[in-house]
Structures are given as C-alpha cells and as structure tokens.
Amino acid sequence: MNQWNNWKEQYNPIKLVQGLKNNVYLQPIIQKLEITDQELLTHYTMFSKYCEDQKVNSQDRIFDKSFKRNDNNQLVEILTIAKTTAGKEFMYQNYIKNTQISKPIIEQSLDKLEIDSYYDLSELKKQIIRNINNISKLEGYAIEGQATSIRREFLSSIVNYFALNQISASYIDLNYLDDKVKNLLNSPTDDLSALIDSLIDVDVLVIDELGFKKYSKWFLETIFIKVLDQRIQNNKLTYIGSYYSFFEIKNNILIKNEAEDSKFWLDRLFMLIRQNCHNQIHVSKEKSWK
C-alpha cells in the first residue's frame, strides 16, 4: 500500500505540472506561449525532456529545441541544429552535401546575416525564413554581383540556414565543379554519374561563380544542362550566383573555339536557368553587412 501511495504521490498531476512551472528554463516559454496547465500535462514528456537537455553543456549539444504554436494554435516542438562545434560537424556530415567540391565561404546562417541595407536580398531573406517549413512555396533566384559584392556570402548563408533546419543543401562553385568533373573523367563512369545524381537530388542547390571563366561545350551540355533540367522536373529549389547579367554571360561563357554553332543549346541553357530561377537580383559592389 505504501508503495502505491508513493507512486501516486510521485506522479500526482498537480505536482508534475507545478514542477514544470517552477523550471527556470521553461518559465519564459510558458509565459510567452501562454501554455495552460492541461497542455503542460498533455506534453509532459516533451517538456521534461527539454528541461533535462538544458542541463547539458551548451557546447556539447547537437540540436537546439524551441516551441511555437501552429496555425491551429497547437504546441509544436522545433528542432534545429545547434550552432556549436558538435552541431557544425553534424550539419556538414548530414545536411551540407558535395563538400568534396566546395563549401559555403562563411559559417554565418541567413537568419543572422544583417543585410537591411540591401532591400531585395532582405526581402528574399524574409521569404526564405517565413517558408522554411514548407520550401515548396519558395522560388529560385539568380543573384548577380561582382566579387566585391555580398553575393557569395549571401548564397553561402542560405545553404547554412537550410542545413541548420535539416534540409539538405549544397554550395557549388561552378569552377570547382568543372575541375572535379575533369578529374573524374579518368575514373569509373559510376563516379561521375553519382556526382550528377547528388546535384540533382539535393533539396537546395546553390550554383555560384557563373561567369568567372569560360567552359567547354561538353561540360555545360553534359553536366550543367542535365542538372538544371532534372531539377526542374523534380521541383527542386535552385539558386544561381553570377558575375554578370545572363546576356553578358551567354556571349562569353564558351571556350572561344567552341562558340560557333552553339546557339541552340546556349538558348536552352539560359532558358533552364530562368526556369529554375524565376527572379533575378542585382547586388551592388559595396559590402555593408554583419
């Protein structure tokens, strides 16, 4: 009988709820979301696990947890990768793909990038953050800007932000991809096919540095066009960064001796770029961001 009474005392609903309400980690969340006693009891396991996790050294965490109310006013738990050494390692291993080609040039995530002075980029940032849980609502963008602009940093931060939210993403420097493909030409054909498939399949693909150099017709036709075409068919999200306008690049993208008789597939390439990237933003040369 005493054991039964002890069990009832330990799992008394009123005491369970009060224990959560007294927790210093949970108190601001309860206040902000106006969480009721019934909700605390219903989600007791979720909240008690959150409280336990907060006792772990913050630098050892792989995930950060937060809570919000959905459109139906129901409580939901949000899990994001922690911005710690452990979280960064986990992110690169699991969500930033194709790092053997290239990686984001900064570690900063889009949500932490202060770019209010860039109106168009700031609006795109808001759009991405607003729809991070439903990326099918997002559209691809082409970002045009010189090397001295914020273009590369902005596109890198996009990849980091998606990865932190457990959405696979790649930052691909097109010039490094060209070099990688050349190295694979002497490897088994499966290696090249696997690389192409990985670019097609990743949830969010950023292709940057278009226009830095000229490419072979074979590379553009066999790799670039194929990837862009398949990503359209698979409804994948793509961002492209370039040095110049598409018109300028189109007339200067090919190795000189291959430029003749290429109008048809060059038209096709830039049609696919526009189909992947419905909108275009020109970024000024000056960097003014934090």
Query: Domain span at residue 11?
Result: 2-82
Q: What is the structure's pLDDT at 229?
A: 97
Instruction: Please give the helix or strand (H or E) that residue 26 lies within, else none.
Output: none
- 113 and 25, same domain (yes or no): no
| Residues 131, 62 within the same domain | no
Q: What is the pLDDT of residue 78?
A: 87
- CA–CA dist 245, 121 (Å, integer): 17
Rounded CA separation 115/155 (Å): 13
Residues 78, 64: Cα–Cα separation, whole Å: 8
* Positive or negative: CA dihedral 113, 117, 118, 120: positive
Domain presence at residue 238:
yes
Residues 55 and 110 in one domain: no
Do 74 and 106 belong to one domain? Answer: no
Cα angle 270-101-224, degrees, rounded to a multiple of 5: 20
The whole-number pLDDT of residue 10 equals 56
**CA pair distance 151, 173, nearest whole angstrom:** 12
pLDDT digits (tens, 9 = 90+) for 104-118: 999 899 999 999 899
Residue 14 within any structural domain of the chain: yes
Q: Which of 23, 56, 82 is the last residue of a domain?
A: 82
- Looking at the fold, whether 187 and 273 belong to one and the same domain comes out as yes
> Are 76 and 103 contained in the same domain?
no
User: Is 278 inside any structural domain?
Assistant: yes
Domain annotation covers residue 228: yes
Q: Please give the pLDDT value at position 55.
A: 82
- 86 token code pair: 């452990």
Identify whether residues 129 and 18 lie together within a single domain. Answer: no
Residue 24 burial class via C-beta count within 10 angstroms: exposed 0-12, middle 13-18, buried 19 and up: exposed
CB 239 within 8 A of CB 125: no
Tally of domains in the chain: 2
Asked, for residue 287, whether it belongs to a domain, the answer is no
pLDDT at 7: 43
Q: Distance between CA 154 and CA 288 in Å, rounded?
A: 12
Per-residue confidence (pLDDT) for residue 259, from 0 to 100: 60
Mean pLDDT of the residues in the chain: 88
Q: d(Cα 50, Cα 215) in Å, to the nearest integer?
A: 52
Q: Is residue 89 part of a domain?
A: no
Same-domain status, 136 and 72: no
Q: Which parts of the chain have pLDDT scores under 70?
A: 1-11, 256-261, 285-290
Q: Is residue 289 part of a domain?
A: no
Q: CATH number of the domain at 211, please.
A: 3.40.50.300
The model's pLDDT over 53-103, given as tens digits with 9 standing for 90+, comes to 888 777 778 888 899 998 899 998 888 888 888 888 888 889 999 999 999
Q: What does DSSP assign to residue 221?
A: I
Per residue in 23-39, pLDDT (tens digit) is: 999 999 999 999 999 99
Q: Are residues 47 and 165 in the same domain?
A: no
Last residue in a domain, options 82, 104, 126 = 82
* Residues 169 and 192 grouped into a single domain: yes
Residues 134 and 173 in one domain: yes
Residue where one domain finishes, among candidates 45, 61, 82: 82
Helix (H) or strand (E) holding 281: strand 277-282
3-class DSSP state for residue 156? helix
Same domain, 144 and 186: yes
Residue 88 falls within a domain, yes or no?
no
Q: Given CA atoms 144, 148, 152, 155 in this order, what sign does their dihedral have?
A: negative
With pLDDT > 70 as the criterion, what percentage of the chain qualifies? 92
